[in-house]
Amino acid sequence: MILVGDCFEKLKDIEDNSIHSLVTDPPYGLSTITEQDTRDCLAQWLADEVYTSQKTGFMGKSWDSFVPSPVLFREVLRVLKPGAYGLVFSGSRTQDLMTMSLRLAGFEIRDCLMWLYGNGFPKSHDISAAFDKKAGIKGQLIKTVTRSNEPSGLVGVGRNRSIITKSFYAPASEEAKKWEGWGTALRPAYEPITLVRKPIKSSVTANIKEHGTGGLNIDACRVKGDGKPRKVKRSASPSVGVTGFSPSSKSDFPSDRWPANIITDGSINLKHANRYFYCAKVNPEERHKGTDQNIHPTVKPINLMRYLCKLITPEEGTILDPFAGSGSTLCAAVLEGFKPLGIERDPEYAAIAEQRLNHYTLDKEWSLF
């Protein structure tokens, strides 16, 4: 089901303790945030009020002006079953605010997953070039680079397309030569995904027995190995031993790896990268599949969302995404046999999510509400 409208209002119509998991990619709030902005935000959050920024965030989008408030996440918490897990994406610059919002809403912070990728583009200010520009002079032309200002895979979708041509010059002024090679930002290479849980009321086993939530599906998300048994040396300390095995002995274990809090896109050449789940960034074919044109600027790969859905959702459970966007989480949910419940305030994005959901579903048609 896809509900169209403000997620805070739509959440009010959902029954308490009825949803099995939360998988969502909310606004990151990638605007310029000053110390005063942070103070004002925390003051309003602590007063149980919604903080609203007047700035614009990613690609000038007003909906990305700030991270969601604890007031909204508290509504999300209400509809989740006790012990239900959530996976919440955030930006590396604003993860602290996203996590604080989740904490103040009442969630337990359980871990942070890192999705590593190798094709991020640095958005850095060239300090050397800035000195020459201020002096009104240009050095010798070195090269010219043409690229799109759109996220990976979005090139050619029409109205969002903007081609940027940038020329690079050798430093001319003495000040520029002094600061050649200096910038203001690193190349982005990961996105954090905060693992949260609604507090359980008693023990984990009692909570699972009553609500079906409270655990992670470890075996379903193991990273496939080479099929050969591994020898694992156990610690001599009894406190770190495993029930059924002698703590100081070696035992045969399957080659499939325990799921880790690192996910890679395969471009990261780590020595032991094969022990982590692999998922590439979304490509244009997947982005537009089932639609006339997917214009949403922050589309997540469906395989990544399938893995995350499977990790925290019990069999045939309902997955909530209150920031559904173009529906990657919803498509992932149905492909894994779960029930999707998405909320999206932009009718155009919601219509794209509906088209994508219908494409990936063979036995039913999805409609907007």
For residue 284, is pLDDT > 70? yes
Least confident of 159-173, 226-240, 273-287: 226-240
Percent of the chain with pLDDT over 90: 58
pLDDT of amino acid 121: 75
Strands (E), 43-189: 80-89, 108-116, 141-148, 163-169
Q: DSSP of 19-39, one letter per residue?
A: EEEEEE------S---HHHHH
Nearest CA-CA partner of 86 in 106, 71, 67, 66 = 106
CB atoms within 10 A of CB 224: 11
Per-residue pLDDT tens digits for 292-332: 889 888 899 999 999 999 999 999 999 999 999 999 999 99
> Which pairs with CB-CB distance under 8 Å and at least 24 residues apart come from 170-173?
170/139, 170/140, 170/142, 171/128, 171/129, 171/131, 171/132, 171/139, 172/132, 172/135, 172/137, 172/138, 172/139, 173/131, 173/132, 173/135, 173/137
Phi first, then psi: give them for residue 190, nearest 5 degrees: -160, 160
Q: What confidence category does residue 67 fall into, taking pLDDT thresholds of 50, 70 and 90? A: very high
Q: What is the mean pLDDT of the chain?
A: 85
Closest CA to 275 of 224, 216, 217: 224
Distances (CA, A) of 132 to 49, 51, 177: 46, 40, 9
Q: How confident is the model at residue 249 (pLDDT cuts 50, 70, 90)?
A: very low
What whole-number percentage of the chain has pLDDT above 70?
81
Question: What number is the average pLDDT over the span 150-170?
Answer: 57
Task: Please give the structure tokens belonging to residue 364.
Answer: 């039913």
241-264 burial, b if ≥16 CB within 10 A, otherwise e?
eeeeeeeeeeeeeeebbebeebbb
- The CA distances from residue 171 to 127, 139, 144, 186, in Å, are 10, 5, 15, 21
